[in-house]
Amino acid sequence: MTLRTRYSQVISQIKQAQLEFNRPTASIQLLAVSKTWPASRLRELAELGQTDFGENYLQEALEKIEQLKALKLIWHFIGPIQSNKTRAIAENFDWVHSVDRVKIAQRLSAQRSENKPDLNICIQINIDNEGTKSGISENELMQLAHEVEALPKLKLRGIMIIPAKTSRIADQRASFQHAKQLFEQLAKTFPDIDTLSMGMSADMATAIAEGSTLVRIGSALFGQRATPNKTGQVN
Ligand SMILES: *Cc1c(COP(=O)(O)O)cnc(C)c1O
């Protein structure tokens, strides 16, 4: 299947879920998660109209951002953040979905250049309290949100979650519903937030049903991230 075919399939699945679950028209944004794929694949997708790309690995992302800078794409950092990486993130990305401690937010704020627009921030919540996963627990959310909001050059946009791996749709649905509740609570204090970043290739429709405003889609667009993908071949 070609990238073009996959792209139009994903777009029509989003539209279909939007309709089926009574979500407003054009209320769900597609973030193309392009980790491991070469710049040529991203360029192909950009030529089909995709503007927003998500990357997890800084070094790899910086190379692609440089190679594709003429295209004026919108770059989202979605991976775990080490504090020695914040400068490059603040200088090269438009969004960060994975902020989960105040120290990271402070560094991003201080390192964002004065002549750039505010860096858009989502706070990552460890929604299923998994020991190994990034993200804060829900009872830390309000405090971190206030801290982000108070920092210059950052704009709080919402929250990001990755539910625990499970094959049970009901469990996923519960995680998404929980995230939606937290999002709505947060919006009472911060009425400008607009982003509930949840849903990946395997659970996109459920996430949309439960209120996602931004789905992060990798393999359904680019194909499986198998190891011998250096050629960027999509089957
Ligand atoms: C890799 C990744 C995705 C995309 O996953 P797919 O299953 O390939 O759609 C989404 N979000 C995050 C945080 C990721 O690391």
Which positions ≥6 away from 54 have C-beta within 8 Å?
31, 32, 33, 34, 35, 75, 76, 77, 78, 97, 216, 218
pLDDT value for 197: 98
The residue assigned the tokens 């790899």 is 60
Q: In what helix (H) or strand (E) does residue 40 lie, and over which residues does it extend?
A: helix 39-47
- Calculate the alpha carbon distances from 122 to 61, 148, 159 in Å: 19, 10, 5
Assign 227 a pLDDT band (cuts: 50, 70, 90): low
Ligand 1 contact, 221 CB (< 6 A): no
pLDDT in tens, 86-134: 999 999 999 999 999 999 999 999 999 999 999 999 999 999 998 888 9
Ligand 1 contact, 201 CB (< 6 A): yes
- Rounded CA separation 75/97 (Å): 11
Check pLDDT > 60 for residue 214: yes
C-alpha 217 – ligand 1 centre gap (Å): 6
pLDDT value for 131: 87
In this structure, how many other beta carbons lie within 10 angstroms of the beta carbon of residue 183? Answer: 23
pLDDT value for 235: 32
For residue 120, what are its two tokens?
Answer: 């858009």
Provide the mean pLDDT of the chain. 94
Ligand 1 contact, 199 CB (< 6 A): no
- Rounded CA separation 69/115 (Å): 18
pLDDT in tens, 201-212: 999 999 999 999
C-alpha 114 – ligand 1 centre gap (Å): 31
CA nearest ligand 1 atom 12, residue: 78
pLDDT value for 168: 83
Ligand 1 contact, 177 CB (< 6 A): no
Question: In a mutational test of the pocket of ligand 1, which residue from 41, 77, 100, 200 has the highest number of ligand atoms less than 8 Å from its CB?
Answer: 200
Name the percent of the chain lying above pLDDT 70: 96
pLDDT in tens, 120-177: 999 999 999 988 889 999 999 999 999 999 999 999 999 999 999 887 888 899 999 9
- Rounded CA separation 185/106 (Å): 24
Check pLDDT > 70 for residue 229: no
Index of the ligand 1 atom closest to the CA of residue 225: 8
Question: In a mutational test of the pocket of ligand 1, which residue from 58, 100, 216 has the highest number of ligand atoms less than 8 Å from its CB?
Answer: 216
